[in-house]
Amino acid sequence: EPEVTQTPSHQVTQMGQEVILRCVPISNHLYFYWYRQILGQKVEFLVSFYNNEISEKSEIFDDQFSVERPDGSNFTLKIRSTKLEDSAMYFCASRYRETNTEAFFGQGTRLTVV
Amino acid sequence: KQEVTQIPAALSVPEGENLVLNCSFTDSAIYNLQWFRQDPGKGLTSLLLIQSSQREQTSGRLNASLDKSSGRSTLYIAASQPGDSATYLCAVKGPGGSYIPTFGRGTSLIVHP
């Protein structure tokens, strides 16, 4: 069964460093998302991406964050200068169409900023 | 702004019980509602997707219902098993022009043998 894959599964980084989280969505999907979940909290939307551009973003997704689809298969989330409060589980998701289809989530990348 | 609430926050039941998890949302103008399962430290596994025009969906021992007008969905788990132990999340898509699912905090379920 097709699945969304994320790498790495766990990333430890020092405060102020840049990190890139990688995702390979399901191959025929057109809509891509990043979410995060701080330990013990809700899953929160960060950004959605379609047709090579951001379609929606939340207030969490500030100038420190960026997304890219560099090669037609990978979908990356970059955090330019990490802060302690960026420590969270980051989930990538994809869906085939915007409406009426399931969102499929990856297993997540646990980011720990020290 | 859409708010999603899940009750109870935690539930512990003996194996074999039938149980109901509740999800409520404040804005009934939704496109669909999706139930997920999350195992500790893991990703989200989609269980059921109910479109706004549907009233229920079934998959194996799981049955999800949707009452859009009252802003409620329930996930019914029949004959619970220890392997059902996980956190169950509901996510509502909408309202209006927003296509972004909004998640509840989840119900943490423990099924003990």
A11-41 tens-digit pLDDT: 999 999 999 999 999 988 989 999 999 988 8
Question: Is B42 part of the contact surface with chain A (CB cutoff 8 Å)?
Answer: yes
Query: What token pair was written down for B99?
Result: 């296509």
CA distance B86 to B43: 11
Is the per-residue pLDDT at B66 higher than 50? yes
- pLDDT tens track for B9-45: 999 999 999 999 999 999 888 888 999 999 987 888 9
Return residues 3-62 of A near B (CB < 8 Å): 6, 31, 33, 41-45, 48, 55-56, 58
Is the per-residue pLDDT at B96 higher than 60? no
Q: Which residue has the tokens 């220890």?
A: B82
Specify the pLDDT at position B94.
Answer: 73
For each of chain A's 114 residues, which pLDDT tens digit applies? Answer: 778 999 999 999 999 999 999 999 998 898 999 999 998 888 999 999 998 899 889 989 999 999 999 887 899 999 999 999 999 999 999 988 766 678 889 999 999 999
Is the per-residue pLDDT at B98 higher than 70? no
Specify the pLDDT at position B97.
Answer: 46
Cβ contact, residue pair A105, B43, below 8 Å: yes
Specify the pLDDT at position A100.
Answer: 67
Cβ contact, residue pair B46, A104, below 8 Å: yes
What mean pLDDT is predicted for residues B72-95?
Answer: 93
Of residues A20 and B102, more confidence is placed in A20
DSSP chain B: ---EEEE-SEEEEETT--EEEEEEES----SEEEEEEE-TTS-EEEEEEEETT-SEEEETTEEEEEETTTTEEEEEE-S--GGG-EEEEEEEE-STT---EEE---EEEEEE-
Nearest chain B CA: its distance from A44 CA (Å): 7
Specify the pLDDT at position B41.
Answer: 77
